[in-house]
Amino acid sequence: MVEWTDFERATIQSIFSKMDYDDVGPAALSRCLVVYPWTQRYFGNFGNLYNATVTAGNPMVAAHGKTVLRGLDRAVKNLDDIKATYAELSVLHSEKLHVDPDNFRLLADCLTIVVAARMGADFTADVQGAFQKFLAVVVSSLGRQYH
Amino acid sequence: MSLTAKDKSVVKAFWGKISGKADVIGAEALGRMLTAYPQTKTYFSHWADLSPGSAPVKKHGTVIMGAIGNAVGVIDDLVGGLSALSDLHAFKLRVDPGNFKILSHNILVTLAIHFPGDFTPEVHIAVDKFLAALSAALADKYR
């Protein structure tokens, strides 16, 4: 059971309530596909991903970025039981999608950078700590059902 | 994942843009690391004040970014150019090399905040690769 301080809870809720999921999701996913190109292995049917411009303009990437952020929203709304909330998603990523769980961390890092760039100075060191703790719990939960 | 000619030129161009703010960036990245990754504080128990913006953090941030700036200048031979710093980290400081990745991540976050328009995915990948190559050069003498 993860212990969240009042500051962490408030910070996570605040970040996501102010976030434009349809902007941040696609930006984070396309950045991940560019910065860590081996992640493209999971998106063979997405069409062209051969450079940053094309990836950013790819409609399937954009759509999937939004899907991922909406998935994250479920964790935001269930901070006290992210593990159970993501049990099915974890099974899906392991059994069906066969995603190496290290990739969750790579996407989380890209998401941190996109959110930092959007929030600017409001993304203080303490806010960063809370946000990254949240993502670490998400990443761990998504990897939990792998065997 | 070696640095291509394009990576090197992207890094040099970007460093040119940010060099005026290097001290601020170094201090902030270090402060973020100490806050968001508290285990890194274990290396600085000799400092009176570990809070972001404190004098030792600011001073050390400047030292680190200065060294990274020098590394940009020796980007064609990081292992050779950083040999003395590698000796220092291997034999005297003995910082676990996993922490180089952590600091690198915080440098990237700080760059994204201060240069949101310039820190495009293309620049991000080049700088990430450069910092990884730099970290490897720094760990070269460890064993």
Burial of B94 (0-12, 13-18, 19+ CB in 10 A): exposed
The pLDDT, as a whole number, for residue A138 is: 97
At B121, the pLDDT band (50, 70, 90 cuts) reads very high
The pLDDT, as a whole number, for residue A1 is: 78
Residues A66-104 have pLDDT tens digits of 999 999 999 999 999 999 999 999 999 999 998 989 899
The pLDDT, as a whole number, for residue A48 is: 93
Interface of A with B (CB under 8 A): 30-31, 34-35, 52, 55-56, 109, 112-114, 116-121, 123, 125-126, 128-129, 132
Q: Is B54 in CB contact (< 8 Å) with chain A? A: no
List b or e across B100-137, with b for residues whose CB sees 16 or more CB atoms inside 10 angstroms: bebbbbbbbbbbbbbbbeebbbbbbbbbbbbbebbbbb
The pLDDT, as a whole number, for residue A147 is: 87
The pLDDT, as a whole number, for residue A87 is: 96
Q: State mean pLDDT over A127-133.
A: 98
Complex-level ipTM: 0.84
